[in-house]
Structure 1
Amino acid sequence: MIFKYNSLVLAAGLAAGMIGSTSAASADTFGPMDTSGFVEIFGSHSDAIEDNSSGANDNYTGGGGGGSVNFWLSDSFTVQIDGNLNFFRNDPDNDTEHAIEMVVHSGWRDPERGYIGAFGGLISYGYAGADSDDSNQWVAGGEAAVYLDMITVFAQAGFMDTFNRAEGESFEDTYFVQGGVRYFATSNLKLEASGGFLNGDEYGDTPVDMPFWRAEAEYKPEDTRVSWFAAYEGYSEDEDGYEHTNHTVMGGLRIHFGQDTLMSFDRSGASQGFLNSRMLQMADDQ
């Protein structure tokens, strides 16, 4: 409950920061800013399809929100704070589920060249209203990005483990890597493709391999703070005696502050990504 409360406090702080920044001037450059970031809301629908005869076909309808704030502590050092909350319903079982993440990124950054740093945070997921405790995990790792004209190449590697397992359901001793490319057709039209791989133990001692992938398009009209995005993401979970593939489509909006264009957000704002907890909860539910 403390973790959920902290997530709500963070979300309120992000919203307050956005409102307080609406009158501040934003420079359409790739230079340091005191504060920049975004808040977002979205809806989603997922279908999990069994790849053998051992599992069930499930679908999930849900939504959520959250945001990120990026601070420049000096001309070459940044800190980014993320907070996200997801709710979704497993339609066949009529279970309401949630996934929460709070992550901090920090490192060296040059808006004309790239970024290299580290991240750490907490993840919590489980069933709303259930008697059992949530699965709570810590995560840490390293990340980097290279800025190449209208293209950004990024990569991330990390490790996560549990400090509170709900009925044996969580990822333990788990490593993951992911990377991708962002292409800016214009300074306010972003196309992104990414993918990765997760390897660890699930349900206490069951080995699991899980490739995952994502594609997103985001557009922000000129002279507005609001952008619209649509995304497709998925994963394929392979564990002993059971395989399934999950496909998710989602769409929503983001309200930005502190920079004028999507490209300047990428180079100078809150643009470090993370392995999403929504995927972990869906995989645990299967």
Structure 2
Amino acid sequence: MKKLTATSIMALALAMSAQSASAADYDAQIQQLVVSGIVDSWNGYTFIGNQGGANADVDPDSYFSSGLSGRLSLPLGENLTIQMDGDLEYTDNAFDEDGDDAFDYSGQLGAHLTYRDPGMGAFGAFGAFGAGRGDDQRNDFVAVGGEAQLYLNDLTFYVQAGYLDGYVQDADREDAFHDAVFVRGVARWFMTPDSRLQAQVAYVDGHQDTGDSYEMDIVEWGVRYDMILAGLPVIGDTPVYVGYRGARFDNEGAGPGADDGQYTEHTIMVGTTYAFGGNSMREFDRVGATLDLPNFGRWVASGQSLD
């Protein structure tokens, strides 16, 4: 009996030791930053609602939308990373030769320089430039800011704040949303290592119409659910997601009823991703290219629809 007990205790000790070693190896693995990247593609539908004011007349009020983005993260030593972003969003308005008063497309390039501890969080700075077109008018922009992430087991909290300035080349149509400050918050919950529920909200305070410098605010919100469809024929395991994004654009003129307007935008999307670096979504979130940027081009183009 004593021999059996001693043998059982030794076996249990060896099993616990092996489990601890395995956990330690996993912990050590997720502590190491890696070269990583992701490509994200989606298709969806946008519709406009709750229009009001003297100048809100978005036409068409519904259209198909699509988006494509890519991110690449490179470690610069043990804790420092640089990430490069590229984002494109377009609608079927971009192919309408008759002109319209709605969002057409946006594109942007950005970069993040970040200090990152995969066991705790990250902080750093970002910059971006690009353009967005609305009402057949291209609006260029530059944006800079700071950002931070906090990792708590299966939760990630992400906050960004910064400055955005938009402008157009045609001096007679300087209606781009510009001279703005913004703050954005994101929360991610990993229900399993390979499923994620994300919610976000952003607030932007700036101006529209350079000559008169009317006050304009944007509130944007959204949710997204990511999962993996396992064992699909031919293509195998496939990451997919469904999402919703809403935004409220509100321009206040110089006086009651003077050049004011507001409208709400809703976009429903279905997409897929391809990523490398990290053995799961949760691990990729801590060591990979999971910093991102708001659609600045969409924001600056909104001023044209409220001209």
Question: Structure 1 length as normaliser, TM-score?
Answer: 0.82
Structure 2 residue aligned with 1:107: 114
The DSSP-based 3-state class of the residue aligned with 1:118 is strand
Q: Does 1:212 align with 2:216?
A: no
Bigger share in helix: 2
Q: What are the equivalent positions in structure 2 for 1:87-166 lying under 5 Å apart?
A: 87-90=90-93, 95=100, 97-126=104-133, 134-162=138-166, 164-166=168-170
- Comparing 262-271 and 159-168, the one that deviates more: 159-168
Structure 1 residue aligned with 2:4: none
Larger radius of gyration: 2
Q: Distance in 1 between matches of 2:250 and 2:227?
A: 35
Q: What are the equivalent positions in structure 2 for 1:166-245 lying under 5 Å apart?
A: 166=170, 167-204=173-210, 205-221=213-229, 226-240=238-252, 241-245=260-264
Unaligned runs of 5+ in 1: 1-26
Q: Distance in 2 between matches of 1:51 and 1:127?
A: 16
Against the structure 1 CA distance between its residues 201 and 181, is the aligned structure 2 distance closer, same or farther, given a 3 Å change threshold? same
Against the structure 1 CA distance between its residues 225 and 138, is the aligned structure 2 distance closer, same or farther, given a 3 Å change threshold? farther
CA drift at 1:251: 1.2
Structure 2 residue aligned with 1:256: 275
- Residues 35, 74 of structure 2: 8 Å contact kept: yes
1:246 to 230, 251, 265: 265
Q: Does 1:48 align with 2:51?
A: no
**RMSD, aligned α-carbons:** 2.5
Q: Distance in 2 between matches of 1:276 and 1:243?
A: 19
CA drift at 1:148: 0.2
- Residues 35, 72 of structure 1: 8 Å contact kept: yes
1:60 to 63, 66, 71: 63
**Alignment-mate amino acid for residue 35 of structure 2:** T
Q: Distance in 1 between matches of 2:48 and 2:300?
A: 13
- Residues 188, 262 of structure 1: 8 Å contact kept: yes
**Alignment-mate amino acid for residue 248 of structure 1:** T
Q: Distance in 2 between matches of 1:90 and 1:284?
A: 17
* Cα-to-partner distance string for 1:1-31 (whole Å, 9 max, x where unaligned): xxxxxxxxxxxxxxxxxxxxxxxxxx89423
Structure 2 residue aligned with 1:5: none
Structure 2 residue aligned with 1:7: none
Aligned residues between the structures: 257
Structure 1 residue aligned with 2:256: none
Q: Distance in 1 between matches of 2:298 and 2:106?
A: 9
Against the structure 1 CA distance between its residues 60 and 70, is the aligned structure 2 distance closer, same or farther, given a 3 Å change threshold? same
**Alignment-mate amino acid for residue 241 of structure 2:** F
Q: Distance in 1 between matches of 2:107 and 2:128?
A: 11
Question: Structure 1 vs Structure 2: percent identity of aligned residues?
Answer: 26
Question: Structure 2 length as normaliser, TM-score?
Answer: 0.76
